Structure 1
């Protein structure tokens, strides 16, 4: 009887121990779950905080990059502006075309001030061909006011871009080459005709543009346009001269074809000799 009771008591004790262990196990698992969830929530919170910090860092980085890019773009723009200004200074330094202005002033003064005796001494007279100064001075004498104004306006318009780019001395040489060879051509082909006016110099300047285009054909701006304008002006003058010779041959002043043509040829070849050849392309704004 006692053995039965002892065994039953042992059994009850074991079962109570097992139930205690079971309860302890369940409470341990629940506590582990709580710890796990707590750690997990902390990790998630930390990750969220890190993500927020990373977003802020990324935004700041983007702002810095944008600011730097704007600064770089301003620097590049400023650098290009300085480069452009340097090119302007190098190629387009303004030179007052005082040579052609001075020549025009002399022509106007001679027309309004000079007396008949002075005009006779300045005119190119083929019967006085040994007077060397006449080959140079006849350009300052004009037949009437229309003749004067036409030549002055044309020579200023044509010479201005040449003198500002090629310099005073080169343009002066080209101009007087046309004047001198215009007189020589008139002497050869019209040995009895006296000549006045600066048409030989005007046409030498006109074809000086052509020689400048020839020297710098690959780098000069608007070369085709300039060549077309030169040829149109030359052939329009030639056509007018032919029509005047046919229909108004008795009207003064008569046009000297030889002076125009010889002045043009002299201006072209003299320009090839004295004008400079550029090494860099000019800006389209120059011409």
Structure 2
């Protein structure tokens, strides 16, 4: 006879085989033999019994299962006690988390309540983002009225998919039990991790996050923000080398053909191209950081065309607003476009902060940074004028650029993968922005020219 035992080492693949030939079987006294156990000599009995109880005399088979000896044994069997213990411990872990929000004690949570539960710190800390997305999708499908504890455990443990994959890979020797299933897990690439992070940070709807994370391919690539950033950095380098001034506040290049000047309003390109100039590296660094940390991810999510429209709308609003509200000052920098992106994203987070992780913290952080920059710009506007440190530079572009972001920008960023022409609010916002722009243009055409003494 041949007996086969599997070792109880967690995740192990060792098999111990006790093989005895037919002659030994007869000596041990099989039921079909006529000769009884009492007929064998005493010393022979002791010798044979020692063969059964001494582990060092057992023949150990190879670690890899052989087809002829293991064909009748399932390599994905889950009959080990430690497997059951692990499942029980896992179920107890999820039971504590589930029961905490099962106020009625019925073993189920209504879907509406469960969607709110997914946003709690306990679930965020205990459950991975991928599992939360799966649970959210199940909640949005609403095939039932509530999620039961068993459904919750099945999703968290991946029971069905694990058993299926285990069966598929059992024949290639990669998996011999559910304890070895971690062998099949592949770490997602860095690019996929980045895409998932951007979806979590810059999209508010669960379905939008999942769709973006599953379908984004970086084609076409986000080139607008990168192009603008390189352009602004190149102009700053050129004027810094020309003037030799590398101070934090720097020197305003008032003789540049790109700077907005109140006495050069007839040169209409200045209303847009002033954005490539900056008053010092401190001003430049802030704008570039916001463009790259906020603008680039937004462009990856919403596309170059939409972000380009929002950015340039903020730049134009900055110069037109300055020409009307603070008409006797110069204007440099990309703050109008930067604040359009920042304000649009800030407003989107504000409207959906309860659906985003740490929404309040994000709002406070953005508000503090933006307020500090605006306060610094206001100080330079009036302090520089008092001490006679060159021509004053306006801060109005920060505010009017932000207003452009709250109209055009907010709707562009809010309607992910939707046709904007079908949105009523889009047309209203477009009308408001167009009306303000037309008013500012008429004002600049009809108002007398301002003469600045150089």
In structure 2, relative to structure 1, the CA distance for the partners of 1:94 and 1:145 (3 Å cut) is farther
Within-5 A mapping of 1:34-49: none
Q: Which runs of 5 or more structure 1 residues have no equivalent in the other structure?
A: 1-59, 280-287
* Equivalent-residue separation in structure 1 for 2:163 and 2:364 (angstroms): 37
Matched, 1:106 2:231: yes
Give the aligned partner of residue 161 of structure 2.
Answer: 75
After TM superposition, the score normalised by the length of structure 2 is 0.40
Of stretches 187-196 and 156-165 in structure 1, the one that deviates more from structure 2 is 156-165
Quick check: 1:178–1:266 contact (8 Å CA) kept in 2? yes
Of stretches 93-102 and 197-206 in structure 1, the one that deviates more from structure 2 is 93-102
Residue 201 (structure 1) shift: 1.5
Please say which structure displays the higher CA radius of gyration: 1
Secondary structure in structure 2 of the residue aligned to 1:132: coil
Aligned pair partner of 1:91 in 190, 197, 212: 212
Within-5 A mapping of 1:11-90: 64=77, 66=79, 73=159, 75-76=161-162, 88=196, 90=211
Which structure dedicates a bigger proportion of its chain to helix?
1
In structure 2, relative to structure 1, the CA distance for the partners of 1:274 and 1:77 (3 Å cut) is farther
Higher relative contact order (CA 8 A, sep 6+): 1
Give the aligned partner of residue 225 of structure 1.
Answer: 361
In structure 2, relative to structure 1, the CA distance for the partners of 1:72 and 1:103 (3 Å cut) is closer
* Equivalent-residue separation in structure 1 for 2:403 and 2:308 (angstroms): 16
Residue 192 (structure 1) shift: 1.6
* Equivalent-residue separation in structure 2 for 1:97 and 1:119 (angstroms): 33
Quick check: 1:140–1:198 contact (8 Å CA) kept in 2? yes
Give the aligned partner of residue 278 of structure 2.
Answer: 142
Quick check: 2:315–2:401 contact (8 Å CA) kept in 1? yes
Question: CA deviation digits over 1:115-150, x for unaligned, max 9?
Answer: 899962211122222333221111011233443333
Give the aligned partner of residue 330 of structure 2.
Answer: 194
Aligned pair partner of 2:309 in 170, 173, 187: 173
Residue 272 (structure 1) shift: 2.3
Of stretches 145-154 and 101-110 in structure 1, the one that deviates more from structure 2 is 145-154
Q: For this pair of structures, how many residues does the alignment match? A: 217
In structure 2, relative to structure 1, the CA distance for the partners of 1:226 and 1:139 (3 Å cut) is same
Quick check: 2:350–2:363 contact (8 Å CA) kept in 1? no
* Equivalent-residue separation in structure 2 for 1:163 and 1:276 (angstroms): 13
Question: CA deviation digits over 1:163-198, x for unaligned, max 9?
Answer: 222222221111111111110111011212121111
Quick check: 1:123–1:138 contact (8 Å CA) kept in 2? yes
Residue 159 (structure 1) shift: 1.3
Give the aligned partner of residue 52 of structure 2.
Answer: none
Residue 212 (structure 1) shift: 2.7
In structure 2, relative to structure 1, the CA distance for the partners of 1:227 and 1:246 (3 Å cut) is same
Within-5 A mapping of 1:227-266: 227-244=363-380, 249=385, 250=387, 251=389, 254-266=392-404
* Equivalent-residue separation in structure 1 for 2:344 and 2:232 (angstroms): 21
Aligned pair partner of 1:162 in 298, 312, 317: 298
Residue 105 (structure 1) shift: 0.7
After TM superposition, the score normalised by the length of structure 1 is 0.61
* Equivalent-residue separation in structure 2 for 1:140 and 1:194 (angstroms): 14
Give the aligned partner of residue 153 of structure 1.
Answer: 289
Give the aligned partner of residue 57 of structure 1.
Answer: none
Give the aligned partner of residue 69 of structure 2.
Answer: none
Secondary structure in structure 1 of the residue aligned to 2:256: helix
Secondary structure in structure 1 of the residue aligned to 2:333: coil
In structure 2, relative to structure 1, the CA distance for the partners of 1:253 and 1:118 (3 Å cut) is closer
In structure 2, relative to structure 1, the CA distance for the partners of 1:211 and 1:139 (3 Å cut) is same
In structure 2, relative to structure 1, the CA distance for the partners of 1:224 and 1:76 (3 Å cut) is farther
Give the aligned partner of residue 21 of structure 1.
Answer: none
Quick check: 1:181–1:262 contact (8 Å CA) kept in 2? yes
Secondary structure in structure 2 of the residue aligned to 1:275: helix
Secondary structure in structure 2 of the residue aligned to 1:192: coil
Give the aligned partner of residue 420 of structure 2.
Answer: none
Residue 211 (structure 1) shift: 3.2
